Structure 1
Amino acid sequence: MVEGEKERIMRRSFAIFAGLALVAAFGATACGGSDEEKTTTQGTTQGTTSGAVSLEQDDFYFQPTTLEGEAGKPLQVALKNEGQASHTFTIDSLNIDQTVKPGETMTVSVTPKAGGDLPFYCRFHKASNGMQGTITVSGGGSSGATSPSATKSTSGGGAGGY
């Protein structure tokens, strides 16, 4: 191969790669959720306000690990188990303990009565893997909630809807 031909092939390869990267970036942006839903990489915290939030459960972490809510306003937490093991969404002070099987989606409604921190965790993996997080509730006093409710549906797993 002559030197000019090598350079042309390299430029063409770079242009194809750059085009694919651009398409992937636009595709990821188009698949993003609403402004209410925000996620970050594992181990970091990202807040989400009262309303509807998504919480991924995987082997063995929650993503995001911090949610934000307001006292007296319902927070619909859509749990999606992306892992290979069953996980729980447990808040001891509110008597919430929902098991979510692999590939399953469940929504838990939490309405804090007062401000403070509401720790949540997976009963199966908190001690061994530190699978836990916090709902930071704005308002006064200590936290509480009205009767929690949960609905669930099974899905084929994967990243559908994310």
Structure 2
Amino acid sequence: MSRIVVVSKKQLRMVAAIALIVVIAVAYTRWDQSRATTGAPVKQRVIHLVTGEFKSVDKDGKEIEAYRWDPGTVILQRGEPVQLSITGVNGESHPFVIEGLGVRGEVRKGQTTVVSFTPEKPGTYPLLCLTHTDRTTSGPMVGYIVVM
């Protein structure tokens, strides 16, 4: 004798719902969200800057020039170890200070100066060239370190 099984739509929906719950439960229990820690120190971010110069002649024939840091603004995260690698392209010497961060150095034409620091407080810190401080010295040569 043959047996006939009648399945209603409601029973099909119930079986599908149970199967979906089982699939989700299995996926959840097998999903490993943990990450292994290596204990390695946080990698230092390296940012490259250059010294730049603009030259032109005014309407009286006088040569004018201005120096700058390029890029002019660097954005960092608080607590992020950073290394500024600054290459002298124009100008013989650019002694500099980053006010508020205690960073000092000097960039010479054709050489690269590297300074490292970790900013702890959010804010905007000026990167000032001590040679080009105002218009009479082809300045001001200023950049900005923005700490978020």
Tell me the TM-score range normalised by the shorter chain. Answer: 0.5 to 0.7
Unaligned runs of 5+ in 2: 1-43, 54-66
CA distance in 2, matches of 1:131, 1:84: 11
Counterpart pick for 1:67 among 68, 74, 79: 74
C-alpha deviation, 1:84, in angstroms: 3.2
- Higher fraction of strand: 2
Larger Rg: 2
C-alpha deviation, 1:110, in angstroms: 2.1
After superposition, where does 1:13-162 map in structure 2 within 5 Å? 51-59=45-53, 60-128=67-135, 129-138=139-148
Equivalenced residue count is 89
C-alpha deviation, 1:97, in angstroms: 1.8
CA distance in 1, matches of 2:115, 2:85: 6
Amino acid at match of 2:98: I
Amino acid at match of 1:55: L
C-alpha deviation, 1:89, in angstroms: 2.9
C-alpha deviation, 1:92, in angstroms: 2.6
CA distance in 2, matches of 1:78, 1:89: 13
Moved segments of 4+, more than 6 Å: none
- After superposition, give the CA deviation of every residue in 1:32-91 in whole Å (9 maximum; x if it has no partner): xxxxxxxxxxxxxxxxxx811111113311111000101111111110000132012311
Unaligned runs of 5+ in 1: 1-49, 139-162
CA distance in 1, matches of 2:100, 2:147: 14
What TM-score, normalized by structure 2, do the two folds share?
0.56
CA distance in 2, matches of 1:74, 1:92: 17
- Higher fraction of helix: 1
Root-mean-square deviation (Å)? 1.5
Amino acid at match of 1:106: T
CA distance in 2, matches of 1:94, 1:79: 17
